Amino acid sequence: PTLKPSPKIPSTPVVSSRTPPQKADSISEIKYTPQPQSQSQAPEEIVSRVVPVRIINMEDEDGRRPLQYAIKAGRYDNIQMLILEGAEISEDVIREVSKNHDKESIVAIIAYRDGMKKKEHTIATQEFNKKPKKGIQYLNNIGFENTESVAKFLYSTPGVSKRKLGEFLGEPDAESIKILEAYIEQFEFTGLSLDKALRLFLSKFWLPGEAQKIDRFMESFSKWFCKNNPGLFNNTDTAYVLAFSIIMLNTDAHNPAIKKENKMSLDQFLVNANRIPGIEQLPKTYLEEIYQSIVTDEIHIESEKSVFCNIEKKGWLTKQGGRIKTWKTRWFLLSGNVLYYFKQPTDTEPLGMIPLENVNVRPITQRKKFCFELFVVHNAEETIKLPPNKHATMKGAKYQGSGLVQGHHENYVLSAESKDSMEQWISSIKNNIFHNPVADLLKKRSGLGMASLG
């Protein structure tokens, strides 16, 4: 079936998702030219053409939409087409259609449409992660026809690359700037302190390193924060400068290269903050709470120094040595079924890596609190509870000189800062463990240990 809008209905109406559905003068006059079809026709066999969803869901002066007229007229072929093209569905609509038609067929069409929509969103995400401009064009082609709908997709869709998102939103062209403004408006900062809003903001994308791009991000953030919290600051410049002060405090407080006695104190932070024009209207307690929040809980900023993609978890852990059982604090990243550890978060080269192949993880009791260990699983189909010090050699490796050197760990013992942190690390590591079926078969047949296979 095809759908031909009446000349009285604009073919390309501009409708914002923030405004009520657009009214049409005579939507009941929409003319249909149905093709002969069987009511039992499979959804994938239904021929439909792309019609903008904004037209499909337009209302006439009586508040009715094309789907309601098709149901009233008993036009099953047009009902199918309208559903496939994006007509809004409710339980009442399903009940009404089911009076004269097979409910299972309607439900199947809805399921098919939703499946196609999910597939389109997956393709759009993949295209954006390869080339953002191409991804935006694909979104436009599948119905994301205005800036706000594109921004909402980028904000809420899982799998969108933070790095590609930061690169795209930081570009100086008109399209990127418009989408950046609409993207920032997806955040709800009302009632949040500036540091909490900043923490939320910086968690969603990779922050580019160029000063001009950072300036655009922070300028847009400050304006939207002030709009969400009217009266807190006299002008957006105050919020802008204080936000940068918070980022500087965050770097100072959590850089292990800065000795404790040299880190910024509360008094120093207050002195610096009080130099910001317009800051005098804020109560002292507001700034004190910001200081305590940042010092006790680091804001993790995705910056250009992050070379590992799809980081699932990161943070400080204390690691026990292999041969010499000393404890050293290291920065750990969990990415791509591998646990990497660094001397500092800013390092681009790890000190070592632990592939999570055929291993298991469990909490253990040590003199040091909140310890857990990684150890080799002898049978991938079982969780073997091995006694202490009974392990095969793991596949861990260290970076020395120009390459990797096989480590000598029978297990890895790590310590977290709290019980909650330990449990979170154990859960994340379990989700990233993978099993090598070939290695399992070889071990079953020959009794080879992991050292022999690695």
Rounded Cα distance, 233 and 435, in Å: 55
371: which strand partners? 364, 415
Residue the block writes with tokens 């309208």: 82
Q: Directed axis angle between helix 211-228 and helix 194-202, to 10°?
A: 130
Q: Which candidate, 393, 431, 423, places its Cα nearest to that of 411? A: 393
88, 188, 210, 312: the active-site residue = 210
Other beta carbons within 10 Å of 446: 10
Cα dihedral 217, 223, 226, 227, rounded to 10, equals: -120
Total residues found in the chain within this entry: 454
Note if 210 is an active site residue.
yes
Instruction: Read off the tokens for 329.
Output: 């604090």
Which pairing describes strands 359-364 and 352-355: parallel, antiparallel, or unpaired? unpaired
Closest CA to 161 of 132, 136, 129: 129
Nearest to 315 by CA among 385, 420, 227, 205: 420
Residue 350's contacts (CB-CB under 8 Å, 6 or more residues apart) are: 333, 340, 341, 342, 399
129 within 8 A of 123, measured Cβ to Cβ: no
* Catalytic sites, residue numbers: 210
